[in-house]
Structure 1
């Protein structure tokens, strides 16, 4: 059993900010992605059909005054998985996240961390590890101030260049 707190606990403890960086072009599959591939589309007016505990955790944090931001670095043309993520990002935005997209070609001058992560209150990093095919592998928690500063600086550089979700057009 992992001694690393679950995401919901870390977010519940956040007081000011939670930022998330995603850099893969595909992740492990899931039933919602597979349904989307088969033509199913979400009825955004039927919130009960798509609202998940994760969305409530984000909404609760935002209601407490926590700024929640997500940046995605993506290759273009995008993969089918990223096309689906762009579609379902409506739920993230509805929950209160601010989401931006950065085409990978626009990140050439940036030094990017090797893994996806969440940073909570500029003090704690939850690093996500995936296998080469996108399956979840592991997570780790880091609180070294030097590492936190590097990851935070990388996220802010990406955020400055990235395109807000409502303006990013899938290519």
Structure 2
């Protein structure tokens, strides 16, 4: 059954084994993130030695979730050459990795023969799916969750197909 998603913090708090996330857009227009993107374009980079410069509270939630034994993996399907936004994400991904996420990158041309859902998604414990909806310009429009087994299987299988081909963050170069 599809319904509006509860707060993301609740979804992670209820997670016991795994949370996987597939991102398929080259740009997200998040008004909360706009100042960070503008600062990055002006030359700012998070300080690897100063966690207070990192994106909060997301990274704190990730670290807490991983400390409970939950595996968090994120795969990003990206166009090459990469967009400025993808470069921005790439430059800050070390913070996600330090918080406990495992992240991989898949060039879009290597995903052409994969069957993928139409929206970005998270799958929690292989059973609950949260779809994120975005405008053509990348503005966040909302989300929905479903626990329909066939949808969870479709998304979990799609994620694993991408994950198997994707390049670990430490090996991928933009």
CA distance, structure 1, for counterparts of residue 150 and residue 98 of structure 2: 34
**Partner residue of 1:154?**
158
In the TM superposition, what whole-angstrom CA distance separates every residue of 1:124-152 from its partner, at most 9, and x where no partner exists? 01100000000101100111000110010
Following superposition of structure 1 onto structure 2, how do residues 31-110 of structure 1 map, counting pairs within 5 Å? 31-110=35-114
Q: Number of paired residues?
A: 169
Give, in angstroms, the shift of residue 113 of structure 1: 1.0
Structure that is richer in helix per residue: 1
- Structure 1: state its 5+ residue gaps: none
Higher relative contact order (CA 8 A, sep 6+): 2
Deviates more, 1:2-11 or 1:104-113: 2-11
**Partner residue of 1:26?**
27
CA distance, structure 2, for counterparts of residue 81 and residue 166 of structure 1: 19
* TM-score between the two structures when normalised by the length of structure 2: 0.94
Relative to structure 1, the CA distance from residue 141 to residue 99 in structure 2 (aligned partners, 3 Å threshold; closer, same or farther) is same
List structure 1 segments (4+ residues) > 3 angstroms apart after TM superposition: none
**Partner residue of 2:131?**
127
- Structure 2: state its 5+ residue gaps: none
Give, in angstroms, the shift of residue 4 of structure 1: 2.5
CA distance, structure 1, for counterparts of residue 84 and residue 54 of structure 2: 20
Give, in angstroms, the shift of residue 91 of structure 1: 0.9
* TM-score between the two structures when normalised by the length of structure 1: 0.96
Q: Could you tell me whether the CA contact under 8 Å between 2:21 and 2:122 is conserved in 1?
A: yes
